[in-house]
């Protein structure tokens, strides 16, 4: 079985983003692999370690710096990387999920992958659309928000997925399939120094985005990005009675 895993380069989750000229400023900002993509990488590597997969291929779309993101995936245990090179932004400002899913479709078909693992969403755009769209383009079954994945030994998988009311289990009798990974699926490993050094020798193929023949024009236009209003300073109260009075008479949240 060959697993293809998506790796998105995003602004690091611990960084406070800056909004300039009605968009998020990416200049001189620390970038890291999308946390949900790291969960997908970890799951793919665990499948290989359990002898359920022969190869794990990491794919990233973006500028030349995405090679660093792919090296992180290779250091975690992926076998090789594919970099779709483009200078367009992938945070919904330029490239959007419809085009990204089509780009992944081209790579999946070229690689003849059996299972595609993606993060449930990117923490920059929070769309959560690439996985479902990719499954639609491929005509494959899909499971989103995976919290647990079990291989049945007969070529199928059983996936427990998060829902608003708890979890449910979806059985896919046979692969191929697309699965998007949620927070509870696993805890990604840290890349060790020896594996970081080994990752430098693993192959990363670069494909110009124009060579894949996908229409990259966005279907939606982002008119403006703005920061949330600053949080108001808190007020200290002396007792519960004063708190209730302020909630009732000033905030108006109690009747």
> What's the CA angle centered on 201, arms 115 and 55, to 5 degrees?
20
Radius of gyration over alpha carbons of the chain, in Å? 21
Phi-psi region for residue 73, left (φ > 0), alpha (ψ -120 to 50) or beta? alpha
Q: What is the mean pLDDT of residues 43-57?
A: 94
Residue given tokens 């997925």 in the structure block: 161
User: Confidence band (pLDDT; 50, 70, 90) for 195?
Assistant: very high
HSE-CB for 7 with a 13 A CA cutoff: 33
Average pLDDT for the chain: 91
Distance CA 76, CA 171 (A): 28
Confidence check: pLDDT of 100 > 90: yes
Beta strands at 177-181 and 166-172: parallel, antiparallel or unpaired: unpaired
CB proximity list for 12: less than 8 A, separation 6 or greater: 29, 30, 31, 32
What is the tens place of the pLDDT at every residue in 16-38?
888 887 788 788 888 899 999 99
> What's the CA angle centered on 7, arms 178 and 52, to 5 degrees?
50
Q: What is the mean pLDDT of residues 195-199?
A: 93
Confidence check: pLDDT of 255 > 80: no
Confidence check: pLDDT of 218 > 80: yes
What is the tens place of the pLDDT at every residue in 138-155?
999 999 999 999 998 888
Confidence check: pLDDT of 251 > 80: no
Distance CA 73, CA 101 (A): 20
Q: What is the mean pLDDT of residues 58-86?
A: 94
Residue 225, burial from CB neighbour count under 10 angstroms (0-12, 13-18, 19+): middle
How much is the pLDDT for 13?
86
Cβ atoms of residues 43 and 149 within 8 Å: yes
Cβ atoms of residues 158 and 152 within 8 Å: yes
How much is the pLDDT for 242?
87
Cβ atoms of residues 150 and 157 within 8 Å: yes
User: Confidence band (pLDDT; 50, 70, 90) for 157?
Assistant: very high
How much is the pLDDT for 6?
95
Confidence check: pLDDT of 104 > 90: yes
Confidence check: pLDDT of 9 > 90: yes
How much is the pLDDT for 20?
80
CA distances from 253 to 39, 234, 245, 247, 250 (A): 39, 16, 10, 6, 8
User: Confidence band (pLDDT; 50, 70, 90) for 194?
Assistant: very high
């Amino acid at each position: 079985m060959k697993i293809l895993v998506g790796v998105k380069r995003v602004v690091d989750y611990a960084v406070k983003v800056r909004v300039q000229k009605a968009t998020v400023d990416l200049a001189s900002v620390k970038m890291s692999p999308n946390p949900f993509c790291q969960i997908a990488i970890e799951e793919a590597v665990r499948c290989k370690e359990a002898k359920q997969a022969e190869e794990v291929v990491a794919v990233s779309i973006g500028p030349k710096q995405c090679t660093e993101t792919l090296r992180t995936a290779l250091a975690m245990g992926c076998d090789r990387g594919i970099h779709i090179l483009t200078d367009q932004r992938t945070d919904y400002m330029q490239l959007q999920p419809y085009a990204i899913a089509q780009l992944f479709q081209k790579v999946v078909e070229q690689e003849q992958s059996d299972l595609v693992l993606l993060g449930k969403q990117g923490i920059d755009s929070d769309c959560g659309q690439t996985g479902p769209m990719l499954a639609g383009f491929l005509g494959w079954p899909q499971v989103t928000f995976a919290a647990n994945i079990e291989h049945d030994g007969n070529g199928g998988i059983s996936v427990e997925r998060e829902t608003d009311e708890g979890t449910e289990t979806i059985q896919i009798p046979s692969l191929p399939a697309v699965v998007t990974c949620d927070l509870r699926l696993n805890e990604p490993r840290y890349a060790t120094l020896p594996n970081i050094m080994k990752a430098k020798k693993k192959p990363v193929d670069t494909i110009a985005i124009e060579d894949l023949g996908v229409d990259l024009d966005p279907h939606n236009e982002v008119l403006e990005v703005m920061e949330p209003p600053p949080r108001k300073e808190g007020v200290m109260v002396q007792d519960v009675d004063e708190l209730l009075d302020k909630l009732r008479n000033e905030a108006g949240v109690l009747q």
